Amino acid sequence: MLQKATRIVNDFAHLFFPHTCEGCGSDVLDNNSPLCVSCLYQLPETGFLDVADNPVERKFYGQLKIAAAGCAYYFTKHSLLQHLVKQLKYKGNKDIGIFLGKQLGKQLAASERFNNIDCIIPLPLNQKKESRRGYNQAAIIAKGITACWPKPILLNAVERNVFTETQTHKDRIGRWQSMQGVFVLKDHEAIRNKHILLVDDIITTGATLEACGEAILSATGSMLSIATVAYTI
């Protein structure tokens, strides 16, 4: 009876507030999902979370000591995934961030390589940039992850104390240089002897994640793994 009533309410709401797929515009989709089933299955999964020595992990070899790293999807220009990320980061669509986080969370939960994670740290935004955007997209993704893979989220353990402009057009060396001294460990005790999963939306060069990871690993006994929604190819 309750399920029937809920379905009636949802159908009534859809009549006045149409809910359409972000990919193809279809209105045949589950409630609270931005994609229809067809578009969801078109997102290009990497399989990296189940595989050691994957391209994400190789970005950190010789740079940062990590236990495991991976991502859910491949990211390319003019793709559906790029559209979703833009909606999250620049159009205020936090529901897409929750959705992407859930997809990543499902893959993390299914991977034995991430079984011993203690807590999640979303890659911090500088306070100025977060105030301008209204939220940290990595924190929204982390919230989605924990909806299907319950882990504590630490929002204040690491601080990004320097405002940096967009890194989009910089190479790895340029990004690495601009990241020096940007992240500071604020709560040593919160991550002492903990295995931390550092989360972000996209990995390109890995320089920003590396800089934040160095701050995390400055805590005694800490271990680090990294997961992102997407990997740029």
What structural domains does the chain harbor?
A: 1-42 (no CATH), 44-232 (3.40.50)
Give pTM, 2 decimals. 0.87
Give the C-alpha separation, 71 to 97, whole Å: 15
pLDDT along the chain (233 residues), means of 10: 44 52 87 89 97 97 97 97 96 96 98 97 92 95 98 96 63 65 94 98 94 96 98 95
- Residue 28 has a pLDDT of 79
What Å distances lie between residue 162 and 124, 159, 188, 233, CA to CA?
11, 9, 20, 28
Buried b (16+ CB within 10 A) or exposed e, 73-101: bbbeeebbbeebbebbbeeebbbbbbbbb
Question: How many whole angstroms separate alpha carbon 27 and alpha carbon 174?
Answer: 44
Instruction: Please give the pLDDT value at position 14.
Output: 43
- pLDDT for 162: 77
Roughly what angle, to the nearest 10 degrees, separates helices 94-110 and 137-148? 50
d(Cα 101, Cα 70) in Å, to the nearest integer?
14
Distance CA 111, CA 178 (A): 34
Q: Where are the beta strands (DSSP E) in 68-176?
A: 68-75, 119-122, 158-160
Closest among 176, 170, 141 to 62, alpha carbons compared = 176
pLDDT, residue 7, reads: 43
Contacts 24+ apart (CB under 8 A), 165-168: 167/204, 167/207, 167/208
